[in-house]
């Protein structure tokens, strides 16, 4: 007879199990077809892994993504779908370059310019390779069943060709253009950055009010005001009705008299300040678009190093932060400083990669025009025909509004449309060295855009690289072989089924994937967008180094096992909502993994031959009928929930069944009734399959120990229960519930009166309609509830010294007098009361202390109040028990 070890030790098994999976080749759908696990004409199911950035290591957010996607992939593979999960990593240009530049400076006190482009890029590539190797190893440690034979890198040759092909196609269509527009410029990094790299920090700073002709204007940045010669107000502001759009006036300003022009525009907030503002179109995005609307002149005041230009006269060459107080002093001396608000809180834009202050600048860059009309060359998008005139913005609106792409949770559609409906042209170029080089060449006034360099001498390639999101926007199809439209994977798996990612990049990445795919392929990129939330600590705080609350997924995997980490990240979490994580929570799921191991251990000891009797068994007793009926319901519920992306409810249903029904009830009854080999084997076989997507390591380990190492659970078929009589199942479940309720009622009385587990009680049941049923199951009831004498009658009077209760229509009398030492029980209760009362007094004094209540975190005060309520409830029950004795 086989026997499992007494405890499950994850470290002993996880490495070998993963190697066995890899060696089997079953991560590859083509191998699954060859081995007959999947039919060649099966429905495809495909996910492209959102590629981790090659900037370091995987964090807990990656672990959430990997766990959720692996559940989907393992389920669909077992279901029989042609399942492909494509792995990859992203070069993350700005993040990777910034990190290497920082290392270079810290270690060698050199900049990239000291090394030159080629030498510097070799350093970046080596860093990226080392980071890639760590990430892949970590992804494997998390149990991911990715098809490593199809791994891609966003800068590899195939993806590079895809990027250049896409750029040229969009340029030829007129959707990509080169023009002067405002960007997020980082003087420290010497590059513009995308909106997602901009972090806004609120801070107090002086807000200055100046006299500007007849108006009072306010600003926190007086150093930008040298070129201001337009005063803007809302057209409906009655305070300034006497001023007409285009009116001019002269006024004294920083460097003497200027001629200013009145501009009326809806962008001005009449409620802010005086309702009047001057604009600096070169250094503020709002001002830039006002100037664009009215055709106004734009003057550059600050250079690309963050210093003032000659327009600032005596301040020229000064850093803007150094110049600011001196400029204010000059305006004050002129009598133009009205007042200063020292308590003003404003938002400062910084680059998340390196912390440089963002200085908006107008620059000649490459852009995607989202509002330009073009003709659809090809369309498989419902509601958009080939040859129809569209814009990128209209397509983005259509595919989500028409539900061709479903966003989960649905409330995030509002975020999507808030962004898309106000979409601005997309700046593509970055002044970086690492990344996809802009495929454009210049010779004098000539411009050439193409996949390869033009023939002839004198051509110089654009030095800029493309925004990382441009290549990332093609990740639904470039990893499948595009631009080769005949690539087998592209033909088979696109559109992909699901994009699973964090809600924080919905507007940055998801929108751009839809934009790129619908234009370049005439298809949606995926059918469903599943947005997971952020992982926070047990107090709900964001994890950060400064708070020292970061949970490393690999460290906790070493400590508790990978399955426990995966389960802790999914159970209790819902799409779009942040979730709390603590080591205590992870530890609880380690306990569950051990519970599953122990269930399997007991089951195996009671199976005659695991290789036989795997088909649906016949039920011999009520308990058999009940467990099979419940198992059938659980298989149906778990399957439906996974199909509906309800991963937490599926796992919770499965956990409750495994622990509360199978372990606590059926296995206990199996010990009483005996001869359960066939049914136990079938149940174990089924629950291991159901648990496998969530807990792949422990389930695979058990499977191979029970059924032999030549079998791999990952390649087994998902359980499908045979059709049963639903009405009959319901009756069985109700009958068994009656038995459960009777046993539970007796156990509650035993517990309440302190009856020791080894002692028996006498029970009398008044059961009019259920007498025969209870008598038939009397042995099971007696052994489960440790009943010495069980008397069942249609009608009973309360026996002397018995405690009575009513449960499910049964009147139950429990005689504890023979099993209870009353004096000893009184002594025990008195001791508990003596411990609880001072504990309650201490909590009450703490909560009456106003210093504690005012200064302690709200969560801590709430926790103390909850402790007090629990203790008071316990004290009340102790007094009630004492009174009964």
Q: 762, 784 in Cβ contact below 8 A?
A: no
Identify the bridge partners of residue 212 per DSSP, sorted by sequence position.
215
Q: Rounded to the nearest 5°, which phi and psi values hold at 262? A: -80, 130
Decide: 179 and 365 in contact? Cβ < 8 Å: yes
3-state SS, 711-740, equals CCHHHCCCCCCCCCCHHHHHHHHHHHHHHH
Distances from the Cα of 706 to the Cα of 22, 606, 699, angstroms: 21, 12, 10
Helix (H), strand (E) at residue 320: helix 320-333
For residue 742, the SS3 value is: helix
Q: Are 69 and 145 in contact (CB under 8 A)?
A: no
State the Cα angle at 656 between 6 and 559, rounded to 5°. 45
Q: What is the DSSP string of 11-57?
A: HHHHHHHHHHHHHHTTTSHHHHHHTTSS-TTSPEEEEE--PPBTTS-
Which is it for strands 198-204 and 345-351: parallel, antiparallel or unpaired?
Answer: antiparallel
Both structure tokens of 468 = 């990382």
To the nearest 10°, report the CA torsion of 814, 819, 822, 824: -140
| Secondary structure (DSSP) of 583-626 | HHHHHHHHHHHHHHHHHHHHHHHT-S-TTS--SPPPP-SHHHHH
Phi, psi at 461, each rounded to 5°: -75, 145
Tell me whether residue 745 is exposed, middle or buried, using C-beta atoms within 10 angstroms of its C-beta: 0 to 12, 13 to 18, 19 or more.
Answer: buried
Is 783 known to sit in a ligand binding site? Answer: no
Q: Rounded to whole angstroms, how far apart are CA atoms 644 and 637? A: 11
Nearest to 863 by CA among 538, 534, 583: 538
Task: Provide the 10 A C-beta neighbour count for residue 565.
Answer: 29
Pairing of strands 215-219, 207-212: antiparallel
Residue ranges at the known binding site for ATP: 545
Residue ranges at the known binding site: 545
């Amino acid at each position: 007879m086989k026997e499992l070890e007494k405890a499950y030790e994850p470290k002993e098994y996880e490495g070998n199990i993963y190697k066995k999976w890899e060696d089997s080749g079953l991560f590859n759908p083509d191998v699954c077809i060859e081995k007959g696990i999947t039919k060649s004409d099966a429905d495809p199911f495909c996910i492209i892994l959102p590629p981790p950035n090659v900037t370091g290591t995987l964090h807990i957010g990656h672990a959430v993504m990997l766990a959720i996607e692996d559940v989907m992939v393992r389920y669909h593979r077992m279901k029989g779908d042609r399942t492909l999960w494509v792995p990859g990593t992203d070069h993350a240009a700005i993040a990777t370059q910034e990190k290497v530049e920082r290392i270079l400076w810290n270690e060698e006190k050199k900049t990239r310019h000291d090394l030159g482009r080629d030498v510097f890029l070799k350093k970046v590539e080596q860093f990226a390779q080392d980071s890639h190797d760590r990430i892949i190893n970590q992804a494997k440690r998390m149990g991911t069943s990715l098809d490593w034979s199809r791994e891609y890198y966003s800068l590899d040759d195939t993806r590079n060709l895809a990027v250049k092909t896409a750029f040229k196609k969009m340029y030829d269509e007129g959707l990509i253009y080169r023009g002067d527009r405002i960007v997020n410029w980082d003087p420290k990094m010497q590059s513009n950055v995308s909106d997602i790299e901009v972090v806004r920090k609120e801070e107090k700073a002086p807000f200055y009010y100046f006299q500007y002709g007849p108006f009072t204007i306010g600003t926190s940045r007086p150093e930008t005001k040298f070129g201001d010669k337009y005063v803007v107000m809302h057209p409906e502001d009655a305070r300034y009705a006497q001023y007409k759009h285009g009116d001019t006036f002269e006024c004294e300003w920083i460097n003497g008299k200027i001629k200013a022009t009145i501009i009326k525009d809806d962008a001005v907030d009449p409620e802010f300040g005086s309702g009047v503002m001057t604009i600096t179109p070169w250094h503020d995005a709002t001002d830039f678009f006002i100037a664009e609307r009215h055709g106004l002149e734009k003057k550059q005041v600050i250079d690309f190093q963050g210093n003032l230009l000659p327009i600032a006269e005596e301040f020229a060459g000064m850093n803007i932060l150094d110049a600011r107080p001196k400029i204010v002093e000059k305006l004050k001396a002129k009598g133009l400083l009205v007042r200063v608000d020292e308590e003003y809180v404003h938002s400062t834009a910084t680059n998340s990669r390196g912390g440089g202050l963002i200085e908006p600048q107008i620059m000649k860059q490459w852009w995607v025009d989202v509002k330009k009309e073009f003709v659809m060359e090809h369309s498989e998008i419902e509601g958009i025909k080939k040859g129809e005139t569209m814009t990128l913005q209209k397509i983005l609106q259509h595919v989500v509004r028409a539900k061709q792409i479903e966003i989960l949770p649905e409330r995030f559609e509002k975020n999507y449309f808030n962004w898309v409906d106000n979409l601005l042209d997309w700046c593509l170029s970055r002044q970086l060295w690492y990344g996809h080089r802009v495929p454009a060449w210049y010779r004098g006034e000539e411009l050439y855009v193409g996949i390869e360099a033009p023939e002839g001498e004198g051509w110089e390639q654009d030095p800029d690289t493309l925004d990382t999101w441009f290549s990332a926007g093609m990740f639904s199809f470039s990893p499948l072989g595009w631009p080769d439209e005949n690539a087998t994977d592209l033909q088979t798996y696109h559109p992909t089924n699901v994009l699973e990612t964090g809600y924080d990049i919905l507007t940055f990445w998801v929108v751009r994937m839809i934009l790129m795919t619908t234009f370049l392929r005439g298809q949606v990129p995926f059918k469903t967008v599943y947005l997971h939330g952020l992982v926070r600590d047990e107090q709900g705080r964001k994890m950060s180094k400064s708070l020292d609350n970061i949970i490393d997924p690999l460290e906790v995997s070493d400590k508790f096992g990978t399955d426990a980490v995966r389960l802790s990240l999914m159970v209790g979490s819902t799409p779009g909502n942040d979730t709390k994580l603590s080591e205590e929570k992870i530890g609880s799921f380690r306990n569950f993994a051990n519970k599953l191991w122990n269930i399997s251990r007991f089951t195996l000891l009671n199976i005659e031959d695991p290789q036989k009797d795997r088909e649906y068994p016949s039920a011999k007793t009520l308990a058999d009928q009940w467990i099979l009926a419940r198992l059938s319901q659980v298989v149906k519920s778990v399957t439906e929930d996974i199909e509906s992306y309800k991963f937490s409810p599926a796992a919770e249903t499965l956990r409750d069944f495994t622990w509360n029904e199978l372990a606590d009830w059926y296995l206990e009854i199996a010990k009483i009734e005996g001869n359960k080999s066939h049914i136990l084997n079938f149940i174990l076989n089924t629950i291991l399959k159901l648990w496998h997507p969530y807990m792949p390591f422990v389930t695979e380990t058990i499977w191979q120990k029970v059924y032999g190492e030549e079998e791999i659970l990952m390649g087994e078929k998902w359980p499908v229960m045979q059709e049963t009589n639903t009405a009959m199942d319901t009756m069985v479940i109700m009958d068994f519930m009656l038995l459960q309720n009777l046993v539970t009622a007796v156990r509650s009385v035993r517990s309440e009166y302190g009856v020791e587990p080894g002692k028996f009680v006498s029970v009398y049941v008044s059961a009019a309609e259920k007498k025969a049923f209870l008598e038939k199951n009397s042995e099971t009831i007696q052994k489960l509830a440790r009943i010495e004498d069980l008397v069942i009658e249609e009608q009973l009077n309360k026996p002397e010294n018995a405690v009575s209760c009513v449960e499910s229509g049964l009147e139950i009398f429990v005689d504890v007098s023979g099993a209870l030492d009353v004096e000893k029980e009184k002594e025990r209760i008195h001791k508990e009361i003596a411990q609880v009362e001072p504990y309650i007094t201490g909590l009450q004094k703490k909560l009456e202390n106003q210093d504690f209540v005012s200064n302690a975190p709200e969560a801590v005060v709430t926790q103390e109040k909850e402790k007090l309520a629990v203790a008071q409830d316990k004290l009340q029950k102790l007094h009630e028990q004492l009174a009964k004795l």
